């Protein structure tokens, strides 16, 4: 009996000392890393000589941050570990709640998107609304559409595609070249761009049919680079780095958005403002994105969509049931690519100018991150992720008040990728299968139940 209290206190003390030790370790690591990076800075003095300027306070801050951060995390982890069973019960009960929540979000989200330009106008006025509709509204909608398009390939069919931007580029360049060479209007270029991108999707699909997982990812990555390098180097056609400018803007059933007498504003007796065009573009991309969403939701309930999901679950079982996996994969590539092409065509018409620089690998990575973050196969999750990621980066540009804290040289947009990465890591710890981590069945007999993410496979190529 006499031993018991001592034992108790030692077991209580042990986690604390262990935590302190780990925190000390983290601090040492931070010290080791920050000395070469932060401690010394080279600067030129008046006679143009390089002098070393010590910045030991920076090192101290990094070490302290690491120490206390680690300590806090460990104590928090210990506290949650004790409560683990309760947390799990809560997670199970929220499953049914989140189903209604997703429905609510989709209805409210759609309404908000429909009213968005008018809300922006009424809050920030005409001058401010241009930025909010163009940089936020249209930009985010393009990425929502790209995310929904890629979701068919990655989320439903389970084929990891790292070169999706290639189809975006094909769509944009198709529009630009068709408009320039044949003088076609945007409304004719748009479907043609989608068809051409789908065609390139099939072309990519053929060689990668037999590849799985990592190998598939590498080849699609290479495909994206091939398209970009061709755009750069095939100067007679694509004009190389200089890009193509003067792409015709979309018209409102033949009425251009300009100040002329035949323009949209004059026709409806309105005062000319560039806002008209932006609002029109916003609704155009909204319609295109909603079309993508509608088609995807429809396809999920058709045999081809179920075959995609079955393919993601088990390819061998698919073949044993008579499903032609070749055609199934190709349709996924083609339809996903087609929507990428539509988005690309819209992008070209909105910018009026395109160059290969808009179609770098980072774009593929961002779209893929949106799909993964949203929850594979979930339409509403992809939309939320696109708003968070693209809207988030745009918001960074707005944070001028940070300059008051960190000095006038501080530019928050430079930390974009850092914050991106951090947010990604956090979300993956908190929700490893994405924001919406359940699968909604395509058909049900009595009751639509959600399928838990741990049962759904990610696909293996």
Partner 1 sequence: MSTTAAPLLHVEHLTMRFGGLVAIDDLSFSAARGDITAIIGPNGAGKTTVFNCITGFYKPSCGRMLLSHGQALADTDIDALTASGARCQTLPTGSAFLLERMPDYEIAAQARVARTFQNIRLFAGMTVLENLIVAQHNPLMVASGWTVGGLFGLQRYREAEAKAVDRAQLWLDKIGLTERADDPAGDLPYGAQRRLEIARAMCSDPVMLCLDEPAAGLNPRESSDLKQFLRSIRAEHGTSILLIEHDMSVVMEISDHVVVLEYGRKISDGPPEHVRNDPKVIAAYLGVEDEEVEKVEAEIAT
Instruction: Give the one residue of 71, 177, 323, 373 binding partner 1; rule: CB under 8 A.
Output: 323
**Contact flag: residue 322 with partner 1 (CB under 8 A):** yes
Residue 252 neighbours by CB under 8 Å, 6+ apart: 264, 280
In the list 321, 399, 422, 425, the residue contacting partner 1 (rule: CB under 8 A) is: 321
Q: Using CB atoms within 10 Å of the CB of residue 317, give its burial: 0 to 12 exposed, 13 to 18 middle, 19+ buried.
A: exposed
With vertex at residue 101, the alpha carbon angle to CA 95 and CA 104, rounded to the nearest 5 degrees, is 160
Closest approach, Cβ 194 to partner 1, in A, equals 15
| Count of CA atoms in the C-beta half-sphere (13 A) of 349 | 34
Exactly one of 260, 324, 362, 397 binds partner 1 (CB under 8 A); which one? 324
Nearest alpha-carbon partner for 439 in 392, 394, 380? 380
Quick check: 302 binds partner 1 (CB under 8 A)? yes
- Tracing tokens 């309105």 back to the chain, one arrives at 270
Helix, strand or coil for residue 47?
coil
CB 105 within 8 A of CB 383: no
For partner 1, the binding residue among 303, 352, 392, 432 (CB under 8 A) is 303
Q: Which of 325, 351, 360, 393 binds partner 1 (CB under 8 A)?
A: 325
The residue among 86 and 298 lying less far from partner 1, judged by its C-beta, is 298
**Of 190, 196, 307, 371, which lies in the binding site for partner 1, with binding defined by CB under 8 A?**
307
Whole-number Å distance between alpha carbons of 334 and 442: 22
**Closer residue to partner 1 (CB): 228 or 329:** 329
Stretch that binds partner 1, among 49-57, 272-280, 420-428, 441-449 (CB under 8 A): 441-449
- Is residue 433 close enough to count as binding partner 1 by CB under 8 A? no
Q: Which CB, 21 or 457, lies closer to partner 1? A: 457
Concatenated DSSP letters for 134-187? IIIIIHHHHHHHHHHHHIIIIIIS----S-THHHHHHHHHHHHHHHHHH---HH
| Helix pair 84-131, 275-300: axis angle to 10 deg | 150
Please check whether residue 130 is in contact with residue 275, taking contact to mean a CB–CB distance below 8 angstroms: yes
**Span from 28-36, 141-149, 216-224, 449-457 in contact with partner 1 (CB under 8 A):** 449-457
In the complex, the smallest distance separating the C-beta of residue 446 from partner 1, rounded to whole angstroms, is 6
Report the residue number, 94 or 260, with the smaller CB distance to partner 1: 94
- Residue 79 or 455: the one with the smaller Cβ distance to partner 1 is 455
Q: Is 317 in the site for partner 1 (CB under 8 A)?
A: yes
- Interacting stretch for partner 1, rule CB under 8 A, among 39-47, 87-95, 299-307, 424-432? 299-307
Size of the site for partner 1 (CB under 8 A): 39
> Distance between CA atoms of 359 and 363, rounded to whole angstroms?
6
Instruction: Please give the distance of CA 449 from its chain centroid, rounded to a whole number.
Output: 28
Q: Sketch the per residue contact string, 331 through 370, with partner 1: x for CB under 8 A, - otherwise.
A: x---------------------------------------
Query: 285 in helix, strand or coil?
Result: helix
Rule CB under 8 A: is residue 313 a binding residue for partner 1? yes
Instruction: Give me the helices (H) in 301-360, please.
Output: 303-313, 315-320, 325-351
- Asked if 297 is part of the footprint of partner 1 (rule: CB under 8 A), the reply reads no
Binding site for partner 1 (CB under 8 A): 295, 298-299, 302-304, 306-307, 309-310, 312-314, 316-325, 331, 439, 441-449, 451-452, 455-457
């Amino acid at each position: 009996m006499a031993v018991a209290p001592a034992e108790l206190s030692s077991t209580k003390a042990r986690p604390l000392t262990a935590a302190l030790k780990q925190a000390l370790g983290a601090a040492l690591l931070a010290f080791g890393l920050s000395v070469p990076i932060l401690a010394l800075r080279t600067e030129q003095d008046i006679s143009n000589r390089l002098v070393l300027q010590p910045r030991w306070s920076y090192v101290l801050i990094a070490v302290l941050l690491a120490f206390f951060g680690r300590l806090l995390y460990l104590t928090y982890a210990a506290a949650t570990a004790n409560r683990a069973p309760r947390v799990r019960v809560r997670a199970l009960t929220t499953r049914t709640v989140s189903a209604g929540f997703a429905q609510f979000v989709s209805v409210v989200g759609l309404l908000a998107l429909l009213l968005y330009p008018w809300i922006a106008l009424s809050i920030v006025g005409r001058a401010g609304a241009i930025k909010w509709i163009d940089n936020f509204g249209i930009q985010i909608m393009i990425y929502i559409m790209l995310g929904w398009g890629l979701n068919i390939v990655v989320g439903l069919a389970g084929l990891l595609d790292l070169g999706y931007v290639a189809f975006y580029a094909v769509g944009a360049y198709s529009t630009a070249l068709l408009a320039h060479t044949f003088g076609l209007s945007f409304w004719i270029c748009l479907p043609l761009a989608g068809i051409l991108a789908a065609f390139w999707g099939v072309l990519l699909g053929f060689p990668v049919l037999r590849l799985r997982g990592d190998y598939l990812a590498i080849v699609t990555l290479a495909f994206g680079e091939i398209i970009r390098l061709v755009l750069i180097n095939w100067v007679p056609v694509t004009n190389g780095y200089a890009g193509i400018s003067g792409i015709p803007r979309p018209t409102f059933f033949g009425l251009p958005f300009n100040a002329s007498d035949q323009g949209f504003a004059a026709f409806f007796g309105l005062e000319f403002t560039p806002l008209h065009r932006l609002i029109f573009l916003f609704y155009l991309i909204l319609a295109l994105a909603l079309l993508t969403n509608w088609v995807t939701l429809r396809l999920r309930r058709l045999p081809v969509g179920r075959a995609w999901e079955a393919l993601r679950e088990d390819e061998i079982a698919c073949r044993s049931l008579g499903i032609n996996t070749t055609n199934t994969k190709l349709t996924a590539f083609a339809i996903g690519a087609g929507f990428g092409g539509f988005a690309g065509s819209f992008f070209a018409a909105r910018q009026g100018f395109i160059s290969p620089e808009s179609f770098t690998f980072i774009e593929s990575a961002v779209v893929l991150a949106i799909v993964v973050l949203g929850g594979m196969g979930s339409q509403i999750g992809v939309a939320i992720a696109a708003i968070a990621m693209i809207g988030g980066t745009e918001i960074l540009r707005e944070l001028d008040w940070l300059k008051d804290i960190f000095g006038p040289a501080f530019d928050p947009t430079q930390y974009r990728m850092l914050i991106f990465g951090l947010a990604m890591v956090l979300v993956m710890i908190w929700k490893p299968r994405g924001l919406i981590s359940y699968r909604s069945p395509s058909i049900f007999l009595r009751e639509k139940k959600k399928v838990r993410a741990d049962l759904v496979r990610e696909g293996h190529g």
